Structure 1
Amino acid sequence: MEDERRSADAAQRRRSLRFSKLPEPVRLKDTVEERPTVAHDSVSGAYNPDWWLIRVGGL
């Protein structure tokens, strides 16, 4: 019985240490990812008139 109490107290201490403070705030500029756009490849004839059908999935 005493052993169960010790393990419960240890578990409670670990939880209180873990959840006793809020996480560090995240800056808004860290939530945005910027990537350059890919230019359309008109040289290889990659035009597809049904691109919208492929993108939307036939809805």
Structure 2
Amino acid sequence: MDTHPESDAAAAAVRHARFGKLPERIQFHQMIEEETAGPNGGAANAYNPEGSWNHFSCLALDLGL
């Protein structure tokens, strides 16, 4: 296969003009965000065993068995 350095350089220039350069890398400490718990101390998302029964379906109950 015959390659031409001039056409490769021209194609690279066209790609660079179209796409530019890659964005800068994001550091790990910039990706995380820490927040304090709300006024209830996160109790809004706490596990409630008495109220959790309605989040699951039971095939036996659906069939009336």
Name the larger-Rg structure: 2
Q: Same fold (TM over 0.5)?
A: no
Q: TM-score, normalised by structure 2?
A: 0.36
Q: TM-score, normalised by structure 1?
A: 0.38
